Structures are given as C-alpha cells and as structure tokens.
Structure 1
Amino acid sequence: MSQKNNSFKCHKISEGEASGEVLFSKDGICFYLIDPETGVVIQRNHCLFGKSIANKILVFPNGTGSSVVQADGMYQLKMHNNAPRAMIVENADTTLVASSIIMEMPLVDKVESVFKQEISNKDTVKVNATEGVITLIEKED
C-alpha cells in the first residue's frame, strides 16, 4: 500500500493562508474575462467556461492579457467577494505577483510535482504561502 502525500512544499510569492476547494485550469487565466459579480469564467474557449473561481484555490499555468486588464479584473473580483481564496501558479508574471501582493491574496509557485498527481478538483486544501506549504484537508471521492 503506497503512502499518499498530505503536504506539499511550494514557494511563497504573496504571503497569507487560505483553505478551500481546489479548481484546476489547464488554460491561462485572464481575470478580466471572469464575471466579477458571480466569479464565473465567461471566456468561451476556456476550459473553465461557465464555472466559478469564487472562493476556490485556483491552480493554473499563468495569467493572460495586458497588465491593466489583469489587475482590474482581479480587483473587481476582490471587491465583489468573488476572487479565489488563494492561487497556485506555474509561471508567475509581474502583474500577477504585484496584484496578489497589493490585494493580499496568497500566491505560490514551484509546487512539488507530485501535487498534481495526488490532488484533484474538489479536494480541499490549505495553502500556507507564508510557510511555503500546501496541506490536503479532505479528499473528494
């Protein structure tokens, strides 16, 4: 019987901690193409089209769009209480980093590769960006 990991090392970009349901995106995220009043992705060709990122632990490869569009989109989501609780990104850009720090949204990268093998959509995790660790709280069956 193999032992599953319950915690995963990561690199802090924007400090803080948050717990919530995991939502993976294989596509980059343009926060401007997410309805701030619902948190629902409105970008038609996106893998998360029609799904809400509100209060999720969002796992995605990178941000997309111009710096103004990205920052404003994140800000609007935050003001409507529909932003992700924390974000796990593969390739952080300057706008994503600066916006996360300003909006006090936990953001990490450089997560252990086994994370994507052992964590699935709807699992509940705690992201402690300050300590550089992600912990599995509950596995969704």
Structure 2
Amino acid sequence: MKKIVLHGRKIVGGCAEGEALVTHDSISGWGGVNPMTGKIVEVRHELSGQSFADKVLVFPGAKGSSGWSGIFHSTRLVGTAPKAMLFNTMTTKVALGAVVTHAPAMTDLDEDPLKIIETGDWVKVDADNGIVEITKKS
C-alpha cells in the first residue's frame, strides 16, 4: 500500500483516523447539511445524499452564511460529525465550525489535499503534530 505524508497547520488539535470523504465543492452549513444524519442535502452538491459522519472530510472550505457553527455543533451533539477535517481555504465560518465540532482540523497543507486524497483512502490526521498520513485505497 502506498502511504503519503503531508504537513500543515493545526486549527483544532487532536488525532483521528478514518475513511476519507472528498469533495471539490465548498460546503454550506445552513441549508446544505442535515445535522441529524450528517448528509449533504444541497441538491447540486457533488456529495448530495452522502454522509460525512465518522469520515475524514476533505473539502475546499465553507460557503454561505454563519449557519456553519450551529449546524456543525449539532452534528457533534447528535454523533454525526466528521472524525476530522482537512480544508484549503480558511474563513471564520470553517474555523468556528471546526472548533465547535471538536474534530481535529488542519489547513495550509504542503500539497493540495484535493489532488492527493480520494474518497475511500484511509487518512490519519495528527493535528497536534501537523501531520496527515494517507494510505491509498488502491
């Protein structure tokens, strides 16, 4: 199995690992996610109908209103939050969403995670040490 290591900046500390769920579409909190299931409900979204619960969510960043913090806080409370988050574009929406989710979160990786990680890859996020280990699925 091929293993790739990336380095980046911690947003929320901790360590978690799991199967990656990758999207090239930004995610809207308010109206884009069902917090009870962790499913993307935005109709035209690449992941529409798929749940990020217990996955390592890899995405470009947040879009929309300030609903991110409330929706992602709810996912943590009901147990549908991602295990970890990796994203490219830092905004106050995504930062606050990551903080209230309590999932390890990183950005500013030395390579674009959207070009390296594919859905189904196994990803370990060690945000405390700024390390992401990717084990390719194939």
Q: TM-score normalised to the size of structure 1?
A: 0.87
Matched AA of 2:23: S
Q: Which aligned pairs between 1:7-86 and structure 2 lie closer than 5 A?
A: 7-32=5-30, 33-67=32-66, 69-86=67-84
C-alpha separation in 2, matches of 1:64 and 1:114 = 19
Q: Judge which range, 96-105 or 20-29, deviates more.
A: 96-105
Preserved CA contact (<8 Å) 1:17 1:106: yes
Task: Determine the structure 2 residue equivalent to 1:139.
Answer: 136
Name which one, 1 or 2, has greater alpha-carbon Rg: 1
Structure 1, gaps ≥5 residues long: none
Preserved CA contact (<8 Å) 2:69 2:100: no
C-alpha separation in 2, matches of 1:17 and 1:31 = 24
Preserved CA contact (<8 Å) 2:25 2:45: yes
Quote the RMSD (CA, aligned, Å): 1.7
Whichever structure has more strand as a proportion of its residues is 2
* SS of residue paired to 1:43: coil
C-alpha separation in 2, matches of 1:118 and 1:109 = 14
Offset at residue 95 of structure 1 (A): 2.6
Distance verdict in 2 for CA 1:135–1:76, change over 3 Å: same
Q: Judge which range, 101-110 or 7-16, deviates more.
A: 101-110
Offset at residue 114 of structure 1 (A): 6.3
Matched AA of 2:92: T
Q: Identity across aligned pairs (percent)?
A: 29
Matched AA of 2:81: A
**CA offsets 1:103-138 (integer angstroms, 9 cap, x no match):** 4221111112264444321011100111000012x4
Distance verdict in 2 for CA 1:51–1:16, change over 3 Å: same
**CA offsets 1:3-23 (integer angstroms, 9 cap, x no match):** x55311111111111101111
* SS of residue paired to 1:13: strand
C-alpha separation in 2, matches of 1:83 and 1:123 = 18
Q: TM-score normalised to the size of structure 2?
A: 0.89
Task: Determine the structure 2 residue equivalent to 1:93.
Answer: 91
| Runs of 4 or more above 6 Å deviation | none
Q: Judge which range, 53-62 or 27-36, deviates more.
A: 27-36
